[in-house]
Structure 1
């Protein structure tokens, strides 16, 4: 429909057509407003670039307002230039992290070149430049890195650069732990109370789930409980920024700190690495808490990473793969402290069952229970003397029921069965289950004649006795990290990035310390098993409009399927 009013026709028709045009204008405005909001929301997820502000002055300290400033990264075929300034202050925004050659030119002045100036993620650097008057073509090269300051930042930040990531030693290749080199960050030692892992970092006194982790500006945090999702291999990380205080409002969902991770991209040169790390029991010390002399321990981590050009100065790729395979030993103190689960094995309950002392084999109980049954003959005599033989007989029956319950409970808890000689009491002191299962494998609290409950069907199949959980237990892990990043320069003002990463993982032998966690509480050595399949894809389009406008669009699709159950491995004495 055209929104031009004809010069002829009725006034009513013209008014009607004008009304339709107004509706279309309102719809168009609503769509544009929505797009603006969505773009703002996407940008606000996190930082993946840095800004460079150049202050240009002449030898007398006066501002130079007619200069041209260019920042270029020749290795990646990327450059950005500007002449827009505010009283001699020039700003180049949204530069991908890396090293840039900064060239400043102005009529009547020598050209100044700063080589290999680093721009880091989230940085707002201010580079002061003093131009020298020149009557001809003169170039002043500054070969060393100029000192850059950040005069506009209010937050407390630190950057872990590629040099530290590549060279500092780290156990397990969890590169986020490099943040511990910052004095304001400590390890979060809070108990693990769920399936989703935390960042493991305590920032500003907050727990690990109070932090925000971004990868290439996209959220890498679980939306439900703020656990950190799987990211990428250490080989694929270029650098990351730590923000611990006073960060901007764009970083939501964080009361502790923020970690901004930037992945590596390809360049005009082909580079690659291959690595492998092995830890084995044969050439490392025995764990000090091991209950055996030669516990199983093997950890292997290996991978490859390489990147280069698909089309020089235009399109680049970077691929990384890392795998972790662990076969280790978990150490359990069940049954060791206190010894024998705090029980003694010499409790005589013969008198409680109406027989002379020593008639029946000894059973297990607590030291206090042993004292009670040792003193039972004297107690029966005192009750008989004081209240008569009927009272003594009634008390003896109660003592017999208690003896049956105690011996049965101790046997079920420790060994999963009553004492063998309790088979003599089947049908009298203990009931025979109606489903034909053994009378020696019942819960004493619900399967006794005293409680008048004969509907006993044996122990559940998932029940594990304490004795079966003694000794060490196995810990297995199989985790892989795949990631691929593609970068394409349409022009010097338009760059797109696509990254995809996949991480399948299965780990068992996880020790859960939370008292309110049902998983693992009735499993082998109180451990759990976790399996997940984590997939994420990020697309980003950065477009420079004019000298001072940046339009950035970012979209992420992320999905993680996670299963968290009790560990089904019931082997003992591993």
Structure 2
């Protein structure tokens, strides 16, 4: 049965697609609803009233009849301005105007007056009858808020319980960049016009386009309905703009450079910087009241520098050993173009068809991040092209019957070359871990094709608003294996006695282990003695002058198949939901969703059923109580699959003394053919393997929430409590470490492992969990010339994992994950965010009117960080130990404060032509917000390893001192621009 279920789901979805009425549109995930009842002045309901809903911009209208109980619904309405008309015999016509937002329900009670009364026009605010926590960035806010680089994804940061990803920059394996409720930033779901827009490899965002093309932006942080899936964190829901009955267009441009920017406090000078961003939009009718178009294009060019702060001592040591890189200000550039074309056709009053194509192209000469203690040799050049075609259809009958269908085809080609041939060198130097050479994930080639079919049916029956449907998401990706190609070595402090020297032999610092010229005569003598004895210990081992060679305890190198590996993945889902009106003041939301994912080389499971329930109670007219509980699952990511696909790669992990052999080769690494030098065959314990656990159950979260909302005039106050429990989270650990360490490190590696027949075994397992508790206080105000929102969140997040990338694994004892249970790296104990748009138009004076001021202010308390010793204290085969047995993430970074502001003025303000001048300042007060810092604190007196130069404590947690600052977020940058609309 488990094999046949996907075909049953596929046939059902295909049947709904093929046999649904011709013409479809967007669903509740991209639309809103107007509902209510009709009554007379005495409160008696009026059935049979003709209700007409007219979309003001397009002239498209729908007509329904109110039921016997006076109720009516207009389902699946695109966000925008509407005029609602009510006509009943014996009563005067009534009109009301409504501004409908994405994912909201406007509750409109129509009171008809007897004949002879004039029309009344009122404006009704949005209301939501769902229990999810959602923040809507509306059409008037999108162009007005100060968004750096006009990246519309940054709108998510204005919502509560969303924080920037606290992991280091990931480059080619980037995350989405946003963590919801402290969950992994790889496990969110971003949809555009109700269709998937996620990179299935790493969990980042697939395609982007101009901010000008965004009509409305919704952030759903938890409690989303069963129609949404494939997310443990949150949902980002975007709908694109469409044309209407009026021709409109715009031209815009923005510019910033070093002269308009402040100097970064961690760099000695002000490096060159230039950024140009410009574009256009156009939209209007193809056939008045029936067909419309909208197009936009945008270009971004950046020329900038990043400062590498590696000390002259380390750079000189690298040069002496054949590794060349530059320090100081290093230039690089980024350029990208985006385009979007959308057409809308109202085939009949009931049927709508939308077709969208968007393109993105990018060249980035520094795609893997560098700067600070990471040299520019670490980076690579990315070339990316992305094409997307989406078709959305909807049929809405007068009987409140809705059939929706959507189709997506996307092709994404990414090619990233390596700047340096390698190997990758990491030195635990006094200033921190210095990295130069090649990134482990480069070069990388990825070609991904994505197909999605979605269809659903919705209907209203009495007190029930029901909806059911499903989709099939197919991702077919070809990728050249990205992990561990080329060599890598980490140099740490080392005891010469542990390497085979006589008792009492001295130790070497990490820099001395790397650079032989820095060694003392005593160290050189001991190394020469050790080298002379190696052929006796290992027959056939060459006689090598260890005193003049780099000495590392660990060297590894991958040998990969040059042909790309193909990984197909298919996800099926079914959902059903019912919105039940138990009472005019009580609504019950019920939903259930089934998800099943099949991918090559992964253990199969039977899928996952995720029920959801929510209650909305309005005891008073201005007070709403919401509560909900549900299970939520994530989509599979193919990055782990590409790591373990058999027969595509072979990796050697060489302990001392074999670890020194690659440094005798011309390129400081083994030949790419994979032949081991000197005819020595490495033992199996020198291998590195990746595997999935035998069972791989579905990762899921339990989410519960309770909120109170009160409307006082034009201000909405809210208090929300959220609980999120992550279960069976996928991550990576070494399940075959050294458990029986001996005096001889090599003997420990060969005979001391848990399974002495194998080497290092990195296993992906759904064996990790997380806990999140948060209370959010929010306020939102929309009145007159001011629109603003603010939220403060007090939260705590605990987990026992970091990420699935091997370079991020820092388990002290990988076989005991209970020791890793600590504050999450995504924990943000206190977070305050405020944003607003204020139209300063209080004066009739020509120079004091037509201004708009907007802002985004963010304050986040210090985030957790992990202290490392940089040496293998417990001799289990890794160097991820923490000093003096400290727990995980016991450090805390400085707090983050940032204020972005935007001041715009319309210099020309005519009906058909407007010209606006714009000045934006990002990080207005030029605060130094630390982005990267030194985390390694080696022993003071190795090999005793009992004393460490730890940073000071404050409030029981170690703080980052200024001498450890390595990189900061950008300083104050001022941008000027213009916008011309016609």
TM range (shorter): 0.5 to 0.7
Q: Which residue of 2 aligns with 1:459?
A: none
Structure 1 residue 86: deviation in Å? 6.5
SS class of match (2:148) = coil
Structure 1 residue 38: deviation in Å? 8.2
Q: Which residue of 1 aligns with 2:148?
A: 171
**CA–CA distance in structure 1, aligned partners of residues 83 and 358 of structure 2:** 31
Q: What pairs with 1:20-35 in structure 2 (closer than 5 Å)?
A: 34-35=14-15
The answer to whether residue 115 in structure 2 is matched with residue 135 in structure 1 is yes
Q: Which residue of 2 aligns with 1:555?
A: 407
**CA–CA distance in structure 2, aligned partners of residues 85 and 258 of structure 1:** 35
SS class of match (1:557) = strand
CA contact (8 A) 1:487 1:495 kept: yes
**CA–CA distance in structure 2, aligned partners of residues 201 and 532 of structure 1:** 22
The answer to whether residue 398 in structure 2 is matched with residue 546 in structure 1 is yes
1:254-273 per-residue CA deviation (whole Å, 9 max, x = no partner) reads: 11111110111111111111
Q: Which residue of 1 aligns with 2:105?
A: 124
**CA–CA distance in structure 2, aligned partners of residues 307 and 43 of structure 1:** 19
SS class of match (1:229) = coil
SS class of match (1:48) = coil
**CA–CA distance in structure 1, aligned partners of residues 107 and 359 of structure 2:** 38
**CA–CA distance in structure 2, aligned partners of residues 557 and 33 of structure 1:** 17
Structure 1 residue 57: deviation in Å? 2.1
The answer to whether residue 69 in structure 2 is matched with residue 91 in structure 1 is no
**CA–CA distance in structure 2, aligned partners of residues 505 and 32 of structure 1:** 39
Q: Which residue of 2 aligns with 1:367?
A: none
1:72-96 per-residue CA deviation (whole Å, 9 max, x = no partner) reads: 1132121111115372221110111
**CA–CA distance in structure 2, aligned partners of residues 278 and 147 of structure 1:** 38
CA contact (8 A) 2:17 2:405 kept: no
The answer to whether residue 124 in structure 2 is matched with residue 146 in structure 1 is yes
CA contact (8 A) 2:155 2:217 kept: no
The answer to whether residue 475 in structure 2 is matched with residue 475 in structure 1 is no
Structure 1 residue 341: deviation in Å? 1.9
> Alpha carbons of 1:180 and 1:159: their partners in 2 closer, same or farther (altered >3 Å)?
same
TM normalised by structure 1 equals: 0.66
> Alpha carbons of 1:342 and 1:219: their partners in 2 closer, same or farther (altered >3 Å)?
closer
Structure 1 residue 198: deviation in Å? 3.2
Q: Which residue of 2 aligns with 1:406?
A: none
Q: Which residue of 1 aligns with 2:211?
A: 234
CA contact (8 A) 1:306 1:318 kept: yes
SS class of match (1:536) = strand
1:329 aligned to which of 290, 293, 305: 305
Query: Which structure shows the higher helix fraction?
Result: 1
Q: Which residue of 1 aligns with 2:290?
A: 314
The answer to whether residue 513 in structure 2 is matched with residue 533 in structure 1 is no
**CA–CA distance in structure 1, aligned partners of residues 146 and 241 of structure 2:** 20
**CA–CA distance in structure 1, aligned partners of residues 203 and 244 of structure 2:** 35
Q: What pairs with 1:68-217 in structure 2 (closer than 5 Å)?
A: 68-83=50-65, 85=67, 87-115=69-97, 117-132=98-113, 134-136=114-116, 138-143=117-122, 145-150=123-128, 152-217=129-194
SS class of match (1:141) = coil
Q: How many residues align?
A: 410
> Alpha carbons of 1:330 and 1:33: their partners in 2 closer, same or farther (altered >3 Å)?
closer
Structure 1 residue 216: deviation in Å? 0.8
2:242 aligned to which of 254, 259, 265: 265
Structure 1 residue 523: deviation in Å? 7.2
1:23-77 per-residue CA deviation (whole Å, 9 max, x = no partner) reads: xxxxxxx97774128899x999971111111222222223222212111113212
2:351 aligned to which of 463, 479, 494: 494
**CA–CA distance in structure 2, aligned partners of residues 60 and 234 of structure 1:** 48
Structure 1 residue 566: deviation in Å? 2.4
1:389-444 per-residue CA deviation (whole Å, 9 max, x = no partner) reads: xxxxxxxxxxxxxxxxxxxxx5xx33344xxxxxxxxxxxxxxxxxxxxxxxxxxx
CA contact (8 A) 1:113 1:139 kept: no
**CA–CA distance in structure 2, aligned partners of residues 208 and 304 of structure 1:** 32
**CA–CA distance in structure 1, aligned partners of residues 353 and 138 of structure 2:** 23
**CA–CA distance in structure 2, aligned partners of residues 86 and 545 of structure 1:** 19
Query: Which structure shows the higher strand fraction?
Result: 2
**CA–CA distance in structure 2, aligned partners of residues 415 and 43 of structure 1:** 66
The answer to whether residue 320 in structure 2 is matched with residue 415 in structure 1 is yes
> Alpha carbons of 1:569 and 1:77: their partners in 2 closer, same or farther (altered >3 Å)?
farther
Structure 1 residue 548: deviation in Å? 1.0
Q: Which residue of 2 aligns with 1:27?
A: none
Q: Which residue of 1 aligns with 2:866?
A: none
**CA–CA distance in structure 2, aligned partners of residues 549 and 541 of structure 1:** 14
1:222-266 per-residue CA deviation (whole Å, 9 max, x = no partner) reads: 223321112220011111111112111221111111111011111
Q: Which residue of 2 aligns with 1:457?
A: none
**CA–CA distance in structure 2, aligned partners of residues 264 and 552 of structure 1:** 19
CA contact (8 A) 1:309 1:317 kept: yes
**CA–CA distance in structure 1, aligned partners of residues 104 and 386 of structure 2:** 30
- What is the CA RMSD across the aligned residues, in angstroms? 3.0
**CA–CA distance in structure 2, aligned partners of residues 319 and 44 of structure 1:** 19
> Alpha carbons of 1:135 and 1:198: their partners in 2 closer, same or farther (altered >3 Å)?
same
CA contact (8 A) 1:509 1:567 kept: no
CA contact (8 A) 1:542 1:550 kept: yes
- Structure with the greater relative contact order (CA < 8 A, sep ≥ 6): 1 or 2? 1
**CA–CA distance in structure 1, aligned partners of residues 145 and 292 of structure 2:** 28
> Alpha carbons of 1:139 and 1:206: their partners in 2 closer, same or farther (altered >3 Å)?
farther
**CA–CA distance in structure 2, aligned partners of residues 39 and 203 of structure 1:** 39
1:55 aligned to which of 33, 37, 51: 37
Structure 1 residue 475: deviation in Å? 2.3
Q: Which residue of 1 aligns with 2:746?
A: none
**CA–CA distance in structure 1, aligned partners of residues 75 and 219 of structure 2:** 20
Structure 1 residue 103: deviation in Å? 0.9
CA contact (8 A) 1:244 1:258 kept: yes
CA contact (8 A) 1:242 1:257 kept: yes
Structure 1 residue 131: deviation in Å? 2.1
**CA–CA distance in structure 2, aligned partners of residues 562 and 31 of structure 1:** 33
Structure 1 residue 533: deviation in Å? 0.5
> Alpha carbons of 1:196 and 1:103: their partners in 2 closer, same or farther (altered >3 Å)?
farther
> Alpha carbons of 1:131 and 1:230: their partners in 2 closer, same or farther (altered >3 Å)?
same
**CA–CA distance in structure 2, aligned partners of residues 493 and 473 of structure 1:** 59
**CA–CA distance in structure 2, aligned partners of residues 45 and 254 of structure 1:** 19
Structure 1 residue 308: deviation in Å? 1.0
1:255 aligned to which of 208, 214, 232: 232
Q: Which residue of 1 aligns with 2:261?
A: 284
1:77-136 per-residue CA deviation (whole Å, 9 max, x = no partner) reads: 211111153722211101111110011222222221012x1112222232222222x135
> Alpha carbons of 1:546 and 1:135: their partners in 2 closer, same or farther (altered >3 Å)?
closer
TM normalised by structure 2 equals: 0.40
CA contact (8 A) 2:26 2:404 kept: no
> Alpha carbons of 1:106 and 1:114: their partners in 2 closer, same or farther (altered >3 Å)?
same
**CA–CA distance in structure 2, aligned partners of residues 225 and 38 of structure 1:** 33
> Alpha carbons of 1:285 and 1:81: their partners in 2 closer, same or farther (altered >3 Å)?
same
